[in-house]
Structure 1
Amino acid sequence: MLPPRHGRSWPLTAALPLLLVLGACAQPDPAPATGGTAAPPAGLARFHDQELTFGSCADGYATTAAEETAYAGPGIECARLEVPLDYDEPGGPTGQVAMLRVPARGESQGSLLLNSGGPGGQGMPFALQTAAALDGSPVTERFDLVGFDPRGVGASTPAIECFTPEQYLAGDATTEFFFTAGDWTAADAERLAEQCAQGSGGDRALATVGSRDTVRDMDVLRAALGEEELNFLGQSYGTRIAALYAEAFPQNVRAMVVDGAIDPRAGNERRLAQYTGFQQSFDVLAADCATQPDCVLGTDPAQAVQRYQEIVRPLLDAPIPHGDGQLFGYSDAINATVWGLYAAERWPAITKGLTELQAGDPTRFVQMVQLAAEREPDGRGSNLTDANLAITCMDEARMSEEDAADFRARIYAATPFADPGRGTGGARDACEAWPAEPEPAYPLPERIDASAPALTISFTRDPTAPYDGATRMSEMLGGTLLTVDGDGHTIAAAGTNECVNRAVAEYLTTLTLPAADARCAG
């Protein structure tokens, strides 16, 4: 945690520091008149017209002990938005979207909705982190920051729950069998879907957590907040719902910051590109490590993958005991490594963790796995893993068993450090028994003509959202792609790069976009 400023005591995530270089700013053409927002669809007027009651955040909003402490801080307020559980039946059962608001420090220009990523990431703590990181910025001076937990996530209800804290502690909370080792059967997929339905309130809850439902919630939230047009900052997965919102409600967009943008036109290929990005970051890490004395991956970067496999593959047959009867295995090591690859500042934790793992001590990697899953040592935590599965099941087309095996083979070829060396059998789509057909979020059209252009931001070497995908996102949404030279994933809400800070603040407050060739140095 970084220390709070101006008396605030909110948690702040660390981010990759970058140098300053930004091209001259250019004034965009005036946005076309939209004639105001469209009337709400039939049956939704009561949701759009509802009055939000903001009050204390202590009343059932926290999902972790850390959030309980953070939500008790001054100057923040929370509320719940009522939404239809199924938009095809607006008169049927309803759910609630939980949100946290940090009011503008000065005269408010409106609300800025925030999404932290995922799928399954919580927006409420993200609002606190962003407010602390951008303290003193024109963004926090002029905008009420509103972080909402998307439907199925965090404090929103019904929340997706597939695993108990005990299952998390026992390492029995796996939903992805493409990138790691392990066999997955039809019975396993059926059991997983049944567990999720039992913990989440039934099949209907599992069928209504797709991203297209979330963007409908966002428009209800926009209206309930009294905003004619939406201001939105989304990072990583948040760029997906930004694009879907612009497609569904183009007339309701005022400004969109799209940070760490994912390819809007790639389906399962998007995931393959993500894994390729992890290998790219691993190779850079290995080359950097090789210049240091006693590098655990050796002094020859070309041999780093083999050296890594020599350390982690033994865990396939001999996991290391730790804690209260728990075991640290191969998949845990891969998950810890991937979490560390997201930002260069975490890379030393990977090399230190591997060194300690060789000596039989998985403690550092155990902590990294807990951070990746947003779990606390007692197993309590966010429902990121559960919600990620549910949203993915509703957003992406399903794969046959044959396609799944081929996909796993392609992943291992693209990401050799993660290849367990056990072949590709046993892979299958974990969503195959899901109680509803997906409403795919991909591919999106080549062009979306929203009422305002977007500011898209991307690192040149993003480990999980390759730069060329951000290029396509920017082309689709219009506006400017702000290029950040370096390694990392998302930067707009971190507050660590003055170059990016200026561009984001100028865009949100005045709708002035950077020049088309603008860059920020890393």
Structure 2
Amino acid sequence: MLVASAAACTSSTGAPVVPSSTEKRGPTGTVPAGLERFYGQSLVWGDCAPFARTDDDRATFKDPNARCARLLVPLDYANPAGSTITLGLLRIPATDQGRRMGSLVLNPGGPGASGLGTAVRMAAKAKGSELGKRFDFVGFDPRGVGSSEPSIRCLTDQERDAERADDDELDSTPQGVAKVEAEQKDFATKCVQRTGDGAALLASMGTRDVVKDMDVLRSVLGDEKLTYLGFSYGTRLGTTYAETFPKNVRAMVLDGALDPEQGVVEELVAQGEGFQQAFNAFTQWCVRRQDCALGQDPALVLRNYLNLIRPLIDRPADLGQDGRKLSYSDATTGVIRALYAEELWETLNKGLADLRRQRPQVLMALADSYFQRDQSGRYSTTQDAFTAVRCVDDTRVTDHALVLEAQQRYKQAAPFLDDGRPASPALDACAFWPVPSTSEPHLPNVQGLPAILVVSTTGDPATPYQAGVNLSKALGGALLTYEATQHTAFLQGNSCVDNAGSAYLVDLTVPPQGIRCA
């Protein structure tokens, strides 16, 4: 049922005001006892401008087809009559409403990334296809993230700048370790103090609770079963939803997988290996060019790179504006950002060449992009939310010896990220987190789950290929292999991947096991 609640008009500034409409499509499908008011709630769809939190949001949300709403969910599912929170939603409607099949719910990963802009971008890429014609694209901001209220906030913009400029985590002396751990404790304390609902929201930030929100969303959107597309960490959401609500799944594409049985240390080391593989692919591309910033000798590129980057530890490069300097950690973050996709290799080569000339602007811009810092110095809350989710999802590591071993293994797995200093045993913020973790690595029990599709890229630096192989086996799903060096693949321009994934989502046609795209 759709009821218009405002007529189209213009504001006093002359800008058009998007009319709002109230829609009630639920409850649909299975409704857990005690949650009826959430599963059957109405949504008020309207202007997306109030949901924008970044400059990128403000530009993306101008899509004339975008409408936004707020979803009400319990803060604590063990006490549904208690406090509530809201999640931000954005929908791009199916272009053929007469043949509409339902909603495609999306999550871009992170954890901590906003899903609203993802819906706009993915819908644009699917425009004209059967997928775009037949499904509404619905992005949501998980609890505590982006436009959801309250949202996680730990550091101010100025504090985030200062943290990035400080390379004290490279100091492995007892004094250095004590300083880093004091900063990590302070970070955890600030997260409680500056976040609405404080520790109560932090305790509910984990995947365990987000998938319950997703099931509320499924019902409210009017879908008996969920059709879902998750990237990167979004594959963990999909896996956990599949385990929690296996009979509520219609179809899932999980792209850029996390291995459900992999612990935090093994995941760290595997990711280091993945980024080293991507760095090697970049340098193989680079040395064939006359303008390669690292030279043309493959045997020397790693040494040349380290000789260029490591001096930043003691002498950060001055940007000549606002007092900012490119630290060693920012430089490596900028390099890592560029390794997510081959299309950024040209930019990375220029950034390294410029750094050689004491021009650090390109690498800093890449690092700012990774941290979602806009030109006015404002940050999104993605990094704060990332930590909040991982600290309740991952098994807590409080053993200094285990941390030291993990850091040593990471440097061995990724030589280009080896700073040349002794590894540090300093504990991270999760060791001091004020609430307990709610998950642990395990083989998911997904009895009754229909066939799902896992997409894994052979040269994915952030979520290495083998994790996708392992996830597809764990879920009893099909595996699509994409041969490329980039993070995630579906709806990113490869017709083989896009056609197979779209046919599965629309017609439930599972591609043949062992399918490979290039």
Asked if these proteins are the same fold (TM beyond 0.5), I'd say: yes
Mapping 1:113-512, distance limit 5 Å: 113-172=105-164, 183=177, 185-201=180-196, 202-268=198-264, 269-322=266-319, 323-399=321-397, 400-445=399-444, 448-494=446-492, 496-512=493-509
Moved more, 316-325 or 227-236: 316-325
Q: What is the identity, as a one-letter code, of the residue corresponding to 1:262?
A: L
Q: Is the 8 A contact 2:481 2:517 kept in 1?
A: yes
Q: Is the 8 A contact 1:179 1:418 kept in 2?
A: no
Which residue number corresponds to residue 54 of structure 1?
A: 45
Q: What is the identity, as a one-letter code, of the residue corresponding to 1:149?
A: D
Which residue number corresponds to residue 519 of structure 1?
A: 516
Judged with a 3 Å threshold, the aligned counterparts in structure 2 of structure 1 residues 123 and 177 are, in CA distance, closer, same or farther, namely: farther
How far off its partner does 1:373 sit?
1.2
Judged with a 3 Å threshold, the aligned counterparts in structure 2 of structure 1 residues 161 and 180 are, in CA distance, closer, same or farther, namely: farther
How far off its partner does 1:423 sit?
0.4
Which residue number corresponds to residue 109 of structure 1?
A: 101
Q: 2:80 aligns with which of 90, 99, 105?
A: 90
Q: Is the 8 A contact 2:164 2:330 kept in 1?
A: no
Deviation per CA, 1:13-42, whole angstroms, max 9, x where unpaired? Answer: xxxxxxxxxxxxxxxxxxxxxxx94331x3
Q: Measure, in 2, the Cα distance between the counterparts of 1:219 and 1:180.
A: 45
Q: Measure, in 1, the Cα distance between the counterparts of 2:93 and 2:437.
A: 37
Judged with a 3 Å threshold, the aligned counterparts in structure 2 of structure 1 residues 259 and 175 are, in CA distance, closer, same or farther, namely: farther
Q: Measure, in 2, the Cα distance between the counterparts of 1:349 and 1:444.
A: 40
Identity %: 42
Q: Measure, in 2, the Cα distance between the counterparts of 1:425 and 1:64.
A: 35
Judged with a 3 Å threshold, the aligned counterparts in structure 2 of structure 1 residues 274 and 180 are, in CA distance, closer, same or farther, namely: farther
Deviation per CA, 1:426-468, whole angstroms, max 9, x where unpaired? Answer: 53222111111101252233x5234311111111121121211
Q: Is the 8 A contact 1:180 1:420 kept in 2?
A: no
Q: Is the 8 A contact 2:172 2:425 kept in 1?
A: no
Q: Is the 8 A contact 2:164 2:327 kept in 1?
A: no
How far off its partner does 1:513 sit?
0.8
Judged with a 3 Å threshold, the aligned counterparts in structure 2 of structure 1 residues 178 and 362 are, in CA distance, closer, same or farther, namely: same
How far off its partner does 1:284 sit?
1.4
Q: What is the identity, as a one-letter code, of the residue corresponding to 2:430?
A: C
Q: Measure, in 2, the Cα distance between the counterparts of 1:520 and 1:450.
A: 29
Q: Measure, in 1, the Cα distance between the counterparts of 2:296 and 2:390.
A: 40
Q: Which has the higher contact order (CA 8 A, sep 6+)?
A: 1
Moved more, 93-102 or 450-459: 450-459
Give the SS at the match of 1:486.
Answer: coil
Q: Is the 8 A contact 2:106 2:140 kept in 1?
A: yes
How far off its partner does 1:165 sit?
1.9
Q: Measure, in 1, the Cα distance between the counterparts of 2:309 and 2:276.
A: 16
Q: What is the identity, as a one-letter code, of the residue corresponding to 2:476?
A: G
How far off its partner does 1:310 sit?
0.4
Q: Is the 8 A contact 1:295 1:351 kept in 2?
A: yes
Judged with a 3 Å threshold, the aligned counterparts in structure 2 of structure 1 residues 311 and 173 are, in CA distance, closer, same or farther, namely: closer
Unaligned segments of structure 1, at least 5 residues: 1-35
Q: What is the identity, as a one-letter code, of the residue corresponding to 1:421?
A: G
Judged with a 3 Å threshold, the aligned counterparts in structure 2 of structure 1 residues 175 and 384 are, in CA distance, closer, same or farther, namely: farther
Deviation per CA, 1:159-216, whole angstroms, max 9, x where unpaired? Answer: 1111112223444488996999985533222200111112212111211111111111
How far off its partner does 1:372 sit?
0.6
Q: Measure, in 2, the Cα distance between the counterparts of 1:95 and 1:382.
A: 20
Which residue number corresponds to residue 43 of structure 1?
A: 34
Q: Measure, in 2, the Cα distance between the counterparts of 1:235 and 1:227.
A: 21
Deviation per CA, 1:315-344, whole angstroms, max 9, x where unpaired? Answer: 101111222011210000110011111111
Q: Measure, in 2, the Cα distance between the counterparts of 1:463 and 1:245.
A: 25
Q: Measure, in 2, the Cα distance between the counterparts of 1:302 and 1:439.
A: 46
Q: Is the 8 A contact 1:178 1:407 kept in 2?
A: no
Give the SS at the match of 2:251.
Answer: strand
Q: 1:70 aligns with which of 60, 71, 90?
A: 60
Q: Measure, in 1, the Cα distance between the counterparts of 2:115 and 2:481.
A: 25
Q: What is the identity, as a one-letter code, of the residue corresponding to 2:194?
A: G
Q: Is the 8 A contact 1:480 1:513 kept in 2?
A: yes
- TM-score normalised per structure 2: 0.89
Q: What is the identity, as a one-letter code, of the residue corresponding to 2:81?
A: G
Q: Measure, in 2, the Cα distance between the counterparts of 1:275 and 1:100.
A: 34
Deviation per CA, 1:36-90, whole angstroms, max 9, x where unpaired? Answer: 94331x32221111111111112x2000123223323311111111111111221
Q: Is the 8 A contact 2:167 2:329 kept in 1?
A: no
Q: What is the identity, as a one-letter code, of the residue corresponding to 2:516?
A: R
Give the SS at the match of 2:307.
Answer: helix
Deviation per CA, 1:396-452, whole angstroms, max 9, x where unpaired? Answer: 01112221111111111111111111101253222111111101252233x523431
Aligned CA-pair RMSD: 2.1
